[in-house]
Amino acid sequence: MNKKILAALLLALAAAGAHAQSSVTLYGLIDLGVDYASNVANGANGQLVPGTGSKLVQMQSGVPAGSRWGLRGTEDLGGGYAAIFRLESGFNAATGGLGGGLAFSRNAYVGFKSDQYGQITFGKQWDATVDLIEPYSLNGNYGGWYFAHPNDMDNLDNGFPVNNAVKYVSPVLAGFQFEGHYSFGGQAGQFSKNASYSAAAAYTLASFSAGVGYLRVNDPITAVAGYGSGGSFVNSIFGDALANARYQGILSAGASYVIGSLKLMTNYSNVDFASATGSGDLHFQNFEVAGTYAVTPAFVVGAGYTYTVGQDHATDKSPKYHQVNLIGQYALSRRTSLYAMGVYQHAAGSADNAQITGFNPSGTDNQAVARVGITHAF
């Protein structure tokens, strides 16, 4: 009898030990706020309706941080190795709708992790520039997609994940980290169609950090869920070039420096929408300077300025955009924050319409947005 009790106890302890070495976590974030936009035009079939443009008041979900829920897990395989997975779904907290109509619109991957050799994952996930270069932008810290470079043309606000991807993340070695991915297009007889790849590296030393990366997406209008014109939405900044692009190439770099409660950031991106013939190529450069300051441990303010200049090879026109971003965020607790933010964009050069990311274009060359909201993490 004692032997049976001892055997049962040993089995229970073994099961408890195995359970302790594996974990699954449910997590999420809900963001909701009310926006006021100074001028928003109407669209039909991906085209602006002439003569429209008026004030807009709306409730919007997931701006400074996308509303999402997810599951992440790890299983200890022994010898310093672990199996990992993540399933993450975006949703619209104002309506309850699924992000992009997908069960897991943000991440769906499985793989292996080693403290010594790094991490390799397979599935739907962010590219390397999102992980290592986005943190040098104001939208990567506060403000989200409204603060992004016009219509997030460089994906530095993780506007889209990549499908069918194999991704490697190195361990941090003497302050350096490297990431890279390759996404299979999955087209019979056309190996490169809808494929994408990225590589990025970052270095951190005390209060200083810097990084550089490159992302290429072949046939972006079908390969990723980017900002393509259609229905009532109009992308007046690069919509036509995106629809005709053979590939979208993005070179980006950034740096940050922390001085006490002040964090200074700067970044640059070079974006090419390359057409099949070359005559319809569209080229942009984005320059951003920004900073955040912790007035108190609970209250943070942030400000940034972005200058965007383009070159349209088909028309020889040069659209330009000036954008100013401001935010104040107050933490009521570790999980709940209130915030107020504002964005102003002015279109110059050959650009006729201002367009802040997330909105239809203005009917004029100016557009302003103000927002108040709440974010709760769980």
Measured on CA atoms in the order 154, 343, 334, 26, is the torsion positive or negative? negative
**Model confidence at 6: pLDDT above 80:** no
| pLDDT, tens digit (0-9, with 9 covering 90-100), for 154-196 | 999 999 999 999 999 999 999 999 999 999 998 888 889 999 9
Domains of the chain: 29-377 (2.40.160.10)
Nearest alpha carbon to residue 230 among 44, 38, 29: 44
Q: Distance between CA 138 and CA 203 in Å, rounded?
A: 19
Mean pLDDT of the region 37-46:
96
Query: Which pLDDT score, from 0 to 100, does residue 10 have?
Result: 38
| pLDDT, tens digit (0-9, with 9 covering 90-100), for 196-217 | 999 999 999 999 999 999 999 9
Tokens of 55: 């004030």
Q: Where are the beta strands (DSSP E) in 103-233?
A: 107-114, 118-125, 162-169, 176-183, 196-205, 208-218
Query: Which pLDDT score, from 0 to 100, does residue 255 have?
Result: 98
Mean pLDDT of the region 271-278:
90
Q: What is the largest CA-CA distance in the chain?
A: 90
Query: Which pLDDT score, from 0 to 100, does residue 187 have?
Result: 84
**Model confidence at 5: pLDDT above 90:** no
Mean pLDDT of the region 318-334:
98
Q: Distance between CA 277 and CA 101 in Å, rounded?
A: 34
Mean pLDDT of the region 82-95:
97
Q: Distance between CA 140 and CA 150 in Å, rounded?
A: 15
Write phi, then psi, for 231 (nearest 5 degrees).
Answer: 60, -130
- Whole-model pTM? 0.91
| pLDDT, tens digit (0-9, with 9 covering 90-100), for 277-290 | 877 899 999 999 99
Q: Distance between CA 294 and CA 189 in Å, rounded?
A: 54
Nearest alpha carbon to residue 254 among 182, 181, 327, 306: 306
